[in-house]
């Protein structure tokens, strides 16, 4: 998800026009697992790919606050409400760590915000599905944050220093997200028949979209090779998806829920689960903006940005006035 | 389109993890002024008791060395191994040195 370019360009940035000697030194540093820092020389294609990847990741964290934010006021009790509030706040924090990391590459915060609001920049497809019941909050924490962890843990060793450091902070916080979600599912699955049905229904609706989060199959992922070489992607989409299925299926079984895939079967020989085909038509439709609540999500972000305009403006003008006042005081005191 | 002069400036954030440690760089925030930068730094970087004290300073005020000068700046130390205690061979029998 975060390492999959959803912008629809479908073509990798190439480093063809770069100084060959500089490029060779850069490639050697990256191959030796050295970190690249903001002021270091880097190929333009590396910079551009990273800006797109990190900002897409940041947008996903920010838009990702919406489906869960939808349930804060309706959480079943105070404990759940406090937890959900903290979790959604964390996602906001993740967005901010990542925007800062992208800014070190020479793009401004406002440019990134504009790209999101104009629809030019993409975010993870998963957040364009609606949260219909409380069980969806459990399913999101367990599956969506679970998939995010799978994707983000290897990125702690990504070659760009500020991105890697943001990932370390984020990964420290994600584990709580997944566990609180699983706990919600656990309680529902052990509850009344109706609660159990609700949990199963949420798993049915979130399972396949969660598998899609890892991005298209490797043979349809054109940028993978260069991104792996540049260490801005550390595992392929299919590798991560397989890993996710293998650890998640037993978790579902343990609480008596059924993964909605008739083709799911343990493969003794591979030591892994075989599973059914993901509906990639649905994935590409959501990438194109045809997700059930895609319009609603963008409207919510636009409204937040527009409603906050006067606050940003007032704070800026106030700070300027105060700075001028302080300078005059300093002059007067001489 | 965005007007860069209207974007809140960027501040670098430093957190003292606990008493006795120095402040350490953790990231940055946008804020209109220093007071707001502290508030944003608190919400962004210390939601889990990561620190007991915060510093913020305008990113534009940081003077950084150029990676291109790294060799000139740091290489001269490389051949001065006599700056390290292990350079000196002291016989085994000599204690407390
Ligand atoms: Fe997150
Ligand atoms: Fe999360």
ipTM for the whole complex = 0.88
Within a domain: B57: yes
Q: Do A39 and B64 touch (CB under 8 A)?
A: yes
Among positive and negative, which fits the CA dihedral B39, B45, B51, B56? negative
Within a domain: B48: yes
Q: Do B1 and A93 touch (CB under 8 A)?
A: no
Give the residue on A whose Cα is nearest the Cα of B7.
A110
Among positive and negative, which fits the CA dihedral A319, A324, A329, A333? positive
Within a domain: B3: no
Q: Is A326 on the interface with B (CB under 8 A)?
A: no
Range of the domain at B24: 8-63
Give the three-state DSSP class for B16.
strand
Q: Is A274 on the interface with B (CB under 8 A)?
A: no
- Look at residue A271 in the predicted model and tell me its pLDDT: 97
pLDDT tens readout for residues A267-299: 999 999 999 999 999 999 999 888 889 999 999
Reported as a pLDDT band with limits 50, 70 and 90, residue A262 is very high
Contacts of A114 (CB under 8 A, 6+ apart): A120, B1, B2
CATH number at residue B49: 3.10.20.520
Kindly identify the ligand whose nearest atom is closest to the C-alpha of A58. Answer: 1
Task: Out of B36, B66, B67, name the one closest to residue A315 (CB).
Answer: B36
The overall average pLDDT reported for chain A is 93
Distance in Å, CA A148 to ligand 1 centroid: 7
CA dist A148 and A126 (Å) reads: 11
Phi-psi region of B49 (alpha: psi -120 to 50; beta: other; left: phi over 0): left
Phi then psi dihedrals of residue A288, to 5 deg: -70, -5
CA distance B54 to chain A (A): 17
pLDDT tens readout for residues A97-144: 999 999 999 999 999 999 999 999 999 999 999 999 999 999 999 999
Tell me the average pLDDT across A234-255: 96
Report which of residues A240 and A3 the model is more confident about: A240
CA dist A266 and A246 (Å) reads: 9
Tell me the average pLDDT across A161-183: 96
Task: Out of A111, A165, A312, name the one closest to residue B8 (CB).
Answer: A312
Written as six digits, the tokens of A207 are 């399972």
Tell me the average pLDDT across B45-72: 93
Reported as a pLDDT band with limits 50, 70 and 90, residue B90 is very high
Checking A103-106 for CB contacts under 8 A at 24+ apart, the result is A103/B10, A103/B28, A104/A38, A104/A162, A105/A38, A105/A47, A105/A50, A105/A51, A105/A54, A106/A47, A106/A51
What H or E segment, with its residue span, contains residue A147? helix A145-152
- Look at residue A132 in the predicted model and tell me its pLDDT: 97
Classify burial at A276, counting beta carbons within 10 Å of its beta carbon; exposed 0-12, middle 13-18, buried 19 or more: middle
Within a domain: B95: no
User: Which residue out of A100, A107, A108 would a mutagenesis test of the B interface target, given it has the greatest number of B Cβ atoms within 10 Å?
Assistant: A100
Q: Do A114 and B2 touch (CB under 8 A)?
A: yes
pTM passes above 0.90: yes
Question: How many CB atoms neighbour CB A322 within 10 A?
Answer: 13
Residues on chain B touching A114 (C-beta within 8 angstroms): 1-2
Give the residue on A whose Cα is nearest the Cα of B43.
A93
Distance in Å, CA B27 to ligand 1 centroid: 17
Within a domain: B90: no
Classify burial at A2, counting beta carbons within 10 Å of its beta carbon; exposed 0-12, middle 13-18, buried 19 or more: buried
Within a domain: B75: no
Contacts of B41 (CB under 8 A, 6+ apart): B11, B13, B15, B29, B54, B56
Give the residue on B whose Cα is nearest the Cα of A86.
B47
Distance in Å, CA A94 to ligand 1 centroid: 5
Tell me the average pLDDT across A4-23: 74
Give the count of domains, chain B.
Answer: 1
User: Distance of CA A112 to CAs A87, A123, B2, B26, Å?
Assistant: 24, 12, 10, 22
Within a domain: B79: no
Q: Do A109 and B33 touch (CB under 8 A)?
A: no
Within a domain: B82: no
CA dist A75 and A134 (Å) reads: 7
């Amino acid at each position: 998800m975060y390492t999959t370019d959803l912008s629809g360009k479908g073509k990798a940035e190439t480093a063809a026009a770069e100084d060959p000697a500089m490029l060779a030194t850069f490639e050697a540093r990256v191959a030796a697992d050295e970190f690249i820092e903001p002021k270091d020389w880097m190929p333009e294609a590396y910079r551009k790919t990273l800006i797109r990847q990190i900002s897409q990741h940041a947008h996903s964290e920010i838009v990702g606050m919406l489906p869960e934010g939808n349930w804060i006021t309706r959480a079943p009790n105070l404990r759940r409400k406090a937890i959900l509030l903290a979790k959604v706040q964390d996602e906001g924090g993740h967005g901010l760590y990542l925007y800062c990391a992208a800014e070190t590459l020479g793009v401004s915060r406002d440019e990134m915000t504009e790209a999101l609001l104009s629809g030019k920049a993409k975010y993870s497809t998963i957040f364009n599905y609606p949260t219909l019941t409380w069980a969806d909050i459990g399913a999101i924490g367990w599956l969506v944050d679970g998939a995010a962890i799978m994707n983000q843990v290897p990125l702690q060793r990504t070659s760009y220093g500020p991105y890697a450091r943001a990932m370390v902070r984020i990964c420290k916080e994600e584990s709580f997200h997944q566990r609180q979600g699983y706990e919600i599912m656990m309680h529902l699955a052990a509850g009344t028949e109706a609660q159990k049905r609700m949990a199963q229904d949420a798993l049915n609706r979130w399972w396949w979209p969660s598998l899609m989060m890892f991005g298209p199959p490797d043979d349809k992922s054109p940028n993978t090779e260069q991104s792996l070489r540049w260490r801005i992607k550390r595992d392929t989409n299919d590798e991560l998806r397989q890993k996710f299925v293998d650890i998640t299926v037993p978790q579902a079984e343990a609480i008596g829920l059924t993964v909605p895939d008739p083709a799911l079967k343990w493969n003794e020989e591979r030591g892994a689960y075989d599973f059914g085909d993901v509906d990639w038509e649905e994935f590409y439709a959501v990438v194109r903006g045809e997700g059930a609540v895609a319009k609603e999500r963008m409207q919510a972000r636009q409204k937040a940005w527009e409603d906050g305009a006067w606050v940003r403006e007032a704070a800026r003008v106030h700070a300027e006035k105060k700075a001028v006042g302080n300078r005059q005081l300093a002059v007067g005191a001489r | 389109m965005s007007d860069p002069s209207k974007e809140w400036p960027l501040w670098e954030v430093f957190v003292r993890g606990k008493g006795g440690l120095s402040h350490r760089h953790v990231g940055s925030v946008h804020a209109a002024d220093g007071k707001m930068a502290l508030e944003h730094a608190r919400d962004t970087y210390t939601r889990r008791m990561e620190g007991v004290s915060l510093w913020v300073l305008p990113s534009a005020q940081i003077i950084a060395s150029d990676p291109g000068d790294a060799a000139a700046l740091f290489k001269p130390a490389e051949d001065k191994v006599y700056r390290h205690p292990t350079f000196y061979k002291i016989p085994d029998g000599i204690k407390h040195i």
